[in-house]
Amino acid sequence: MVTLYDVPTEELIDAVAETLRDEFTEPDWAAFAKTGSAAELPPEQEDFYHRRAASILRTVAVDGPVGVERLRTRYGGTVEGSTRYRVAPKHRVDGSGSLIRTILQQLGDAGLVERPPDGKGRVVTADGRSLLDSTAGDVLEDLDRPDLERYA
């Protein structure tokens, strides 16, 4: 049986993003919101919101239970220090919590993630794991790589 660990991450995220496009729509403000304070502009990709949702779903499945704060750290970035003298070091900043929180809520409404009994963070549900694994099987069939033949 093929699992989400058996296929390349980027191909899996692309395929899951296509599936999630039918599950839920992005909020109106998502086209104008930055992904964090490290970004100067909003993302230019047409399907950014669904790709980020697929990436968050995979991250929750791999690292769960995981909360908004850990996801903000993961999807954060760096900003330059002082631009006047160019001597200040770069600083680490977190990603957008509103974007991540909204995606987690929509994934929860779709039944793909849930809160564990202790109430800390989110874990993937059986439906979410099934979606990831079945999509990984479809991705593996589409890949034409000899190093992945053993999983077919």
CATH fold for the domain made of 4-143: Arc Repressor Mutant, subunit A (1.10.10)
What's the rounded mean pLDDT across residues 134-148? 75
Average pLDDT over the chain, rounded to an integer:
82
pLDDT band, residue 54 (cuts 50/70/90): very high
Q: What was the pLDDT predicted at 57? A: 92
Q: Position of tokens 């991540």?
A: 100
- Find the mean pLDDT for residues 17-33: 83
pTM over cut 0.85 = no
Residue 93 bridge partners (DSSP): 77
pLDDT of residue 7: 84
| CA 149 – CA 41 distance, rounded (Å) | 41
d(CA 24, CA 45): 17
**What does the domain layout of the chain look like in residue ranges?**
4-143
Q: Is the pLDDT of residue 83 over 80?
A: no
Query: What is the average per-residue pLDDT within 19-28?
Result: 84
What's the rounded Cα separation, in Å, for the pair 16 and 93? 28
Separation CA 100–CA 35 (nearest Å): 9
